Amino acid sequence: MSREVRQRFDVLVVGGGPAGVAAAVRAAEAGVRVGVVDDNVNLGGQIWRGGPEHEKETSAAGWISRLRASGATILCGLRIFHQPEAGVLLAEGHDDLHVLSYTKLVLATGARERFLPFPGWTLPNVTGVGGLQAMVKSGLPIRGKRVVIAGTGPLLLAVAAYLREHGAEIPIICEQASWSSLARFGVALFGQPGKIAQGLQLKRQLAGIKFSANSWPLAVHGKAAVEAVVIFRRGQTEAIACDYLACGFHLVPNIELPLLLGCQIQRGYVRVDDYQRTTVQEILCAGEPTGIGGVELSLAEGQIAGLVASGQMTEAKKLFGARNRARYFARSLDRAFRLRSELRRLPSPDTIVCRCEDIRYSRLSRHTSWRSAKLHTRCGMGPCQGRVCGTSTEFLFKWNPDSVRPPILPVRVESLAAMSSELDLECSGVSGGHK
């Protein structure tokens, strides 16, 4: 039987990436009782990934040091899966169950990579761009390996530079956006010298690597693992031998928990006001779930959310300007790297779209909605709970998930039992204390 731990916080922050860390710091430094929950074993999220040994190499060092000195309770390795009642969340640890109560809640659940299916994309060594970087940070040997990088957005360049620094050979970077879109994006950066400096640094780091706009993967070939990728480039197809294909078709926000809690979603993101407050009372949201915009925007929004949650409205308002400047970059990013319609034609009828349930494109194309596809094919009902195929079908078929039900991720049987038990307590009017 899992051990049960009950804790109460004035401000509970869900997510240990830049937005969550910034929110927790500003709230805890105001003297309120703050808890930070993250499903990773270390703080930093995906963008500050790497743990303590990497902190000195990133901008994470200052913020994470401030958080550790703030007195906030850090709860890493916990996965929130249910809300039995307002103001209470259930989280599963390695061998225990946490019942977390809060007065104010800040959701900083981050984002994940979007995968698009095409023939051969399920072969071993076809990975996400960020996923491959994370594996290398965790010890995967990459020196001497040929890595084709494809997809869209600045993350392709950043990861290519990181992999090259660690000894990988990058034969080509395939960017699906057009040269005209990239040119407009470059013009939009003129007012942001920091971004221009980052771009120039990446250009130096990637010198000699072939970069191709209007280019994307069509198919992957190999037996036990990927051996070559066929790309569309300059109006023709070209096969390139490789050991890894790293794909990243932009990021999608993790909005499952906000949806479960009843937060209104607008154009795929959590709707918030100027003070990062959602449509649900006492719940705020910051970072990528409110709009994909990078570290600077996440830090600004996180600070505003933490200040508001701890009652510092005047201080929060001082950060509106920084947030607005970061939002300008986010809008430019979205316009420049919007996915082109040709990518909807990548899957063949036999291409697997839902990897968990082995559902192929031909079966899904018969349906007109996500709900219909789930009911008739079990698409989205496997271990990933639709986190991969859901975002793929959203783009391929323009479907939208219509509901989120607890648990929002696979959990142990004991946790399911606890979920039922908490519901019984809610119905009987009993709360607090240890069972």
pLDDT at 322: 93
pLDDT tens, position by position, 103-144 = 999 999 999 999 999 999 999 999 999 999 999 988 999 999
Return the percentage of the chain with pLDDT > 90, whole number. 73
Query: Is it the case that residue 414 has pLDDT exceeding 90?
Result: no
pLDDT tens, position by position, 23-70 = 999 999 999 999 999 998 888 776 676 544 444 445 667 898 999 999
| CA–CA distance, 204 with 416 (Å, rounded to integer) | 52
Inter-residue contact 377 to 354 (CB < 8 Å): yes
309 pLDDT band, cuts 50/70/90, is very high
Inter-residue contact 133 to 157 (CB < 8 Å): no
DSSP string for residues in 387-429: TTHHHHHHHHH--------S-SS---HHHHHHHHHHHHHHHHT
Mean pLDDT along residues 213-217: 97
pTM more than 0.85:
yes
Q: Which residue type is seen at 120?
A: G
Kindly report whether the peptide bond that precedes residue 407 is cis, defined as omega within 30 degrees of 0: yes
407 against 225, higher pLDDT:
225
418 against 66, higher pLDDT:
66
Query: Is it the case that residue 434 has pLDDT exceeding 80?
Result: no
Domains, in order of start, for the chain: 3-111+252-335 (3.50.50.60), 115-249 (3.50.50.60), 341-397 (no CATH)
Q: Record the tokens describing residue 66, joined without a space.
A: 């401030």
Residues in the chain: 435
Bridge partners, 128 (sequence order): 247
Mean pLDDT of the chain: 90
Mean pLDDT along residues 86-112: 95
pLDDT at 365: 95
pLDDT at 425: 52
pLDDT tens, position by position, 346-395 = 999 999 999 999 999 999 999 999 999 999 999 998 888 888 999 999 99
pLDDT at 345: 96
SS3 57: helix
Inter-residue contact 11 to 32 (CB < 8 Å): yes
Bridge partners, 328 (sequence order): none
422 pLDDT band, cuts 50/70/90, is low
